A and B are shown apart, each in its own frame.
Chain A
Amino acid sequence: MSADILVLVEHFNGVLHEITFEMLGAARRLADATGGKVRALLIGQSVSGWAPQLGAADTVLLLEEDGLELPSAELALTLLQRLIEQKTATLVFLGGTNVAFGIGARLAARTGLPLVNFCRGARVENGGAVCTSALYGGKMLIDVRLPGSRGIVSVSPGSFPAEAGKSGRVPVVEKLPKPAVECRAVFRRLVEPAAGDIDIAKSDVLVSVGRGIQDKDNLPLAQELAEALGGAVSASRPVVDQGWLPLTRQVGKSGMTVKPKLYLALGISGAPEHQEGMRDSPLIIAINTDPKAPIFDIAHYGATVDLLDLIEPLKAAVEKKKVAQ
């Protein structure tokens, strides 16, 4: 049975998100395997300039209007529901991101289509789509069948190669009329994190601290190590939630995505939401007393010493090395 796939293009604050291409590549592969079509749904203000990049799709369905500077969940939801009811798609791909959060479940409730969350892999098998999802923070995988390839899939960032979704082909663009939508959650404004702090995304070296730092009073140790390495201190969510460091230092899903030359993870367990923010760093060194911490799955080097025992000797060793060179 052919799978006609609809991909919700993901963008935020003027930036097109890579997950769009990851989803397009996967959609293209599945549609080609079943003789189906891929359509990209692009909604927003001043977004039509991105349409030529979406050539992995056969068609771009475009709703462009002023006043849509923030992606409206209700608008996407209404359009997706309408397109499903018109049989324009049997399978919908949504980004597993904060922007698209909740759209999948609400769409599932309104259409009766099943939603598969945390999807890391998808293939066609025996006439239907099979999705592989990661549960329990990534500790278990589960293969779920969508009979007739009908369903809604929330795709975890980093699951599919973005390159497969980048195409030189120019897609057909079809304009959609704006439906009447009742927006009960009314967007007022974006709140930027407090200014005057450094941009960790620009730092070549990040000394990143997690729960293992244990106490706010230990942060100066991390700061001194960062300075010795010519870098900055960043943190995982729990440290920022405690108020020990500002939001601008947070690495992960709701925070920053970073790719420093060195990411030194101190006392960070490496939950999926954190990994999303740093896994592409060329050199990841992880220090965690738990040998089973998921951070070790993506780190290049690791050790199970207590970070509080390592920090000062490491700073001393680094300074000694610098002098010797």
Chain B
Amino acid sequence: MSVPLLETRALCRTFGAIAAARDIDFRLEAGARHALIGPNGAGKTTFVNLLAGAIAASSGAVLLKGRDVTRVAQAERVKLGLSRTFQINRLFRGLSVLENVYIPVAERVGAAPSMFRPAGRRRDVVDEAMQLLRTLRLADDAPRRVAELPYGRQRLVELAIALGRKPEVLLLDEPAAGVPSAESHIILDAIGDLPPHIAVLIIDHDMDLVFRFADRITVLVGGAVFATGSPREIGSNPDVRAVYLGQAAHG
């Protein structure tokens, strides 16, 4: 069996007496569309933060491309090809949409430390950022300040910033959260159009989104993996239905 792009082994994280992540064994294969679901407070965002390196693990290991990165800082994991989006937008709100994407691209190609050359002279960075916006159908909004965009389009910029790093592994924390249903299709389309070789982990409550994109689903309950399988297996698993899907159906 090949080495998975991203893997965790017995990953744990405690906050005081609360175990937010308990012995999580998880594998994300190249090109996967993997969904992470679970009720509120199941530890989904904690798990993403552990994968991204935003918080430190209490015990266990995180492996990126077979390399142990448990003690590696977030910025270094990003350089190794791991990008993420946030459940609540983290954008450069006062800047234009194009500048929002210029920043990650400049970091990736190593242009960002350059001090004595105008940013615009790095036409390679400008053009790549613009090309990325075209792919996401954001080109018309490129000159606008990101804070002026409707929320659904801001969500798309959130995704664009992560893609500016050309990640091999992409963690999407509730990509459609807060987007009015009239606009949610633009997010779904964008996720559907992601380059196939990227391994994507989607954390979401939205069952439509999960069952539309995922080829594999992991259910997290109480900080631990409750079940893992194909959408069909998870959908027909009576325990999962009882714990989660049933709740959602009633809720």
Chain B binds chain A: no
